[in-house]
Amino acid sequence: MTTLTMAKALNEGLRRSLGDDDRVMVMGEDVGRLGGVFRVTDSLQSEFGADRVIDTPLAESGIIGTAIGLAIRGYRPVCEIQFDGFIYPAFDQIVSQLAKIRHRTDGAVSVPLTIRVPFGGGIGAVEHHSESPEAYFAQTAGLRVVSCSSADDAYSMIQDAIRSDDPVLFFEPKRRYWDKAEVDLDGVTSLGLETARVLREGTDITVVAYGPMVATALAAANEAEGTSVEVIDLRSLSPIDFDTIERSVLKTHRLVVVHEASVFLGLGAEIAARITERCFFQLEAPVLRVGGYATPYPASKLEQYFLPDVDRVLDTIERSMAVE
């Protein structure tokens, strides 16, 4: 086992994929000589060459459009979107082309393209650098949407994403890039891309989170005095592993969903609706949600008031437990 930051674990996962398959290539702004803004692609160009780790022009639509063509020709490109809010110029390529090609060709053409998206706040940045656009893509049929929350999972998930024959939006919580965990670089045990993970067993209430909010949910669970909290890392945002959530809720009878994105029409709404349908007679309280407000991302000095924190999660847990 090796102790790595999430950024380094992703770097090692990319290195392993590049080494294992000559069709894999990395593309993006400053991913080569600089090694990426967050150094996730550090040293990969010097090891694999500038024809496989490519510094592109500052043009997200061009990056994704070119990568789609490469994927159709049999390559497995990995594109980096430097910051979450920069993905919008490529929105048309992603939802109108990338998501539709396999269906449009009745399965004859695969587009094995992975798009890495550093997302979320908590780093003192501004709008377009601290956003949570995952719901746009999770709502689009034809795309896989996933998010890692720890170094060990990031290492295996990025390799699973690159091996997938489906297009994958891979959301990386940028505020967790420097969190460390033990990673087994040799004996990878992967859950795949569709399975949620129970990180903490509990009996009184279930808390579901993903990406940057998983650590927050675990911290809240540890501080919830007198309440046994089960914590689930969603991992896959599309498709969602409702079976794992349902099994947990049938045990605890209560559910709180946590994400950084706005609560309004966020992924928590879909989870709340589905679990209410599936567990209506077992729920002892309404499914509650914790998330961002329905406002543009604020200036950095105000982000602490916008982002869900341990106190807001604990308050919501207490509200659920108060329902008899």
How do residues 281-314 score in pLDDT, each as one tens digit?
999 999 999 999 999 999 999 999 999 999 999 9
Tell me whether residue 215 is in a domain.
yes
| In a domain? residue 73 | yes
pLDDT of residue 96: 96
Average pLDDT over residues 33-45: 97
Of 155, 183, 211, the last residue of a domain is 183
Domain extent for 265:
197-321
Cα separation values, 269 from 142, 256, 262, 287, Å: 21, 11, 10, 9
Q: What is the pLDDT of residue 188?
A: 67
Q: What pLDDT score does 141 carry?
A: 97
Residue 190 lies in a domain: no
Asked whether residue 120 falls in the same domain as residue 240, the answer is no
Which of these three, 135, 156, 183, is where a domain ends? 183
Residues 172 and 213 grouped into a single domain: no
Which tens digit of pLDDT belongs to each residue from 216-267?
A: 999 999 999 999 999 999 999 999 999 999 999 999 999 999 999 999 999 9
The Cα–Cα gap between 52 and 78 comes to 10
Instruction: Judge if 158 and 276 occupy the same domain.
Output: no
* pLDDT for res 88: 97
Rounded mean pLDDT, 66-90: 97
Does 48 lie in the same domain as 170?
yes
Q: Which residues pair with 173 in a beta bridge?
A: 119
Domains in the chain, number:
2
Residue 243 belongs to domain with CATH number: 3.40.50.920
The reply to whether 192 falls in a domain is no
From 148, 183, 218, the end of a domain falls on 183
Is the domain of 155 the same as that of 223?
no
35 and 130 together in one domain: yes
Measured between its terminal Cα atoms, the distance across the chain in Å is 46
What pTM was computed for the model? 0.96
Q: Which two tokens stand for residue 12?
A: 């090692």
314, part of any domain: yes
pLDDT digits (tens, 9 = 90+) for 109-161: 999 999 999 999 999 998 899 999 999 999 999 999 999 999 999 999 999 99
Element (H, E) at 207: strand 205-209
- Residue pair 255/288 in contact (Cβ under 8 Å)? The answer is yes
Please tell me whether residues 35 and 71 are part of one structural domain. Answer: yes
Please provide the average confidence, as pLDDT, over all residues in the chain. Answer: 96
pLDDT digits (tens, 9 = 90+) for 180-203: 999 999 876 778 899 999 999 999
Asked if 23 and 168 sit in the same domain, the reply is: yes
* Catalytically annotated residues: 129
Shared domain check, 114 and 37: yes
In a domain, 205, yes or no: yes
Shared domain check, 205 and 99: no
Residue 39 has pLDDT above 80, yes or no: yes
259 and 168 within one domain: no
CATH number at residue 168: 3.40.50.970
Q: What stretches of the chain adopt beta strand conformation (E)?
A: 2-5, 24-28, 53-55, 76-80, 114-119, 144-147, 168-173, 180-183, 197-200, 205-209, 229-233, 236-238, 255-262, 288-292
User: Looking at the structure, do residues 32 and 112 belong to the same domain, yes or no?
Assistant: yes
- Is 142 within the bounds of a domain? yes
Look at residue 324 in the predicted model and tell me its pLDDT: 83
- Using only C-alpha atoms, the chain has a radius of gyration, in whole angstroms, of 19
On whether residue 70 sits in a domain, the answer given is yes
For residue 270, the model assigns a pLDDT of 98
Residues in the chain: 324
